Structure 1
Amino acid sequence: MTERISSVKMCDYLRMYLVMGSVNCEAEPDKVLAEALVGGITLFQFREKGASALCGKPRIELAQKLQEMCRHAGVPFIVNDDVDLALELSADGVHIGQADESARSVRKRIGNRILGVSAHTVKEARRAVLHGADYLGVGPIYPTTSKADAIAAQGTAILRQMREAGIDLPIVGIGGINADRAEKVMRGGADGVAVISAITQAAEVHNAVIEMKEKVERWRNGNRFSS
């Protein structure tokens, strides 16, 4: 990537954002991702965390396999937290949380690759913008069991607060989002939805992606956020 991604392109990538690692899947992760790609995900984040998460060589091999699938499908591949792994794989970007390496430091290390930053408050969002983030991951919007360290759910009000505070960086809502909640998240001010269990635990993964993406697209095409 020779130049920073535009906000318009970033918003397109955020429409249907799958976050996943082996611990989130009942089936083999590559099979889950294959179905999700057929369904139409627009961005993928490799997040291999949890008590039973892979480490060492198996973790790297899984990341490489999933990255190749994304590359073949033309879907950007983002690594959660691990800048060294992202650079080793020449990943399309990195997503970091508030407890991880600072956004300013990560931006220097990854150059113009995509940088996503989790933000839970307007203050954190402003700092992420200042330090070079390309998008914000905001949540948890609803209660979630996918992340053991998740803070209390904030509802869609946090999205509206950020927009009303002048935060115009692309935002993806995350946390407890399913097809029934997707439109409300978009209405709150998000540019897309990031999902873990609603896709990885679905009986028919590709159908789950299609259903949720249709609701996101319907809102994007017919409505925009207003206060």
Structure 2
Amino acid sequence: MSKMSADYSLYLVTDRIQLGKRDLAHSVELAIQGGVTLVQLREKSISTREFLEIAYQVKEITSRYKIPLFINDRLDIALAVDADGLHIGQDDLPLTKAKELFPNKLIGVSASNLAEALLAAEQGADYLGVGAMYSTSTKSDAKLVSLDELELIKKSVSIPVVAIGGINQQNVQQIMDTRIDGVAIVSAILAQDDILQAAHDFQTLLKSNR
């Protein structure tokens, strides 16, 4: 069985806090309708049972639209719902072990500098999530990565590079100018009044760069 391919260009990372009282699964569906190409389900502070229930709901939607679903950090949840991929950070399950336990699936690794990026690529990561690019409320302790460092990482690895952290419609152009493969968006889609329109606007901006 070979791995599926993925379009990383408009990569949605979920954060229910950004939604207020709105339903996560419905919000993800709106974002997909607006043009999101990949969804990462990220939950840091709920029970495993609740995470699993949410993951099943979101997987039903992503499967219907043929959009890849990645799970952040939690290999057990990714295995349980047969997710398309897993995203791990520097302090999570080591990539080599994740690849062993989750074969033939896409695995991305967070990197905040060139050394981390090169190591992840060497160990077989399928893509990199590089950031945080700008200060962001969703990850207050994140170290910031310069545009120069992002560009250097892109030039130094042969796998796709996705930028994350505080990216919005005002700064996405300078991110795309580094010729990376995609942008990961949280609040600039999910915190907006019109999620579908926000995703559509991003997709329009990205298409103008292709």
- TM-score bin (small chain): over 0.9
Q: Secondary structure at the residue paired with 2:11?
A: strand
Shift of 1:62: 0.9
Distance 1:107 1:24 in 2: 31
- 1:198-217 superposed matches below 5 A: 198-217=188-207
User: Identity of paired residues, percent?
Assistant: 32
Shift of 1:42: 0.3
Shift of 1:122: 1.0
| In the alignment, structure 1 residue 17 sits paired with structure 2 residue 48 | no
Moved more, 123-132 or 21-30: 21-30
Q: Secondary structure at the residue paired with 1:94?
A: strand
- TM (normalized to structure 2)? 0.94
- TM (normalized to structure 1)? 0.88
Shift of 1:149: 3.6
Shift of 1:3: 1.3
Shift of 1:25: 1.8
Q: Which has the higher helix share?
A: 1
Closer/same/farther in 2, CA of residues 24 and 14 from structure 1, 3 Å limit? same
Distance 1:106 1:148 in 2: 27
Q: Secondary structure at the residue paired with 1:14?
A: coil
- Please point out which of 88, 102, 105 is paired with 1:110: 102
- 1:30-109 superposed matches below 5 A: 30-49=25-44, 53-109=45-101
Structure 2 contact 70–85 (Cα < 8 Å) conserved: yes
Unpaired stretches in structure 1, ≥5 consecutive residues: 222-227
**Structure 1 outlier segments of 4+, above 3 Å:** none
| In the alignment, structure 1 residue 178 sits paired with structure 2 residue 168 | yes
Structure 1 contact 23–48 (Cα < 8 Å) conserved: no
Root-mean-square deviation (CA), in Å? Answer: 1.4
Structure 2 contact 15–42 (Cα < 8 Å) conserved: yes
- Please point out which of 126, 136, 146 is paired with 1:155: 146
Q: Secondary structure at the residue paired with 2:109?
A: strand
Aligned length: 209
| Letter matched to residue 57 of structure 1 | R
| Letter matched to residue 167 of structure 1 | V
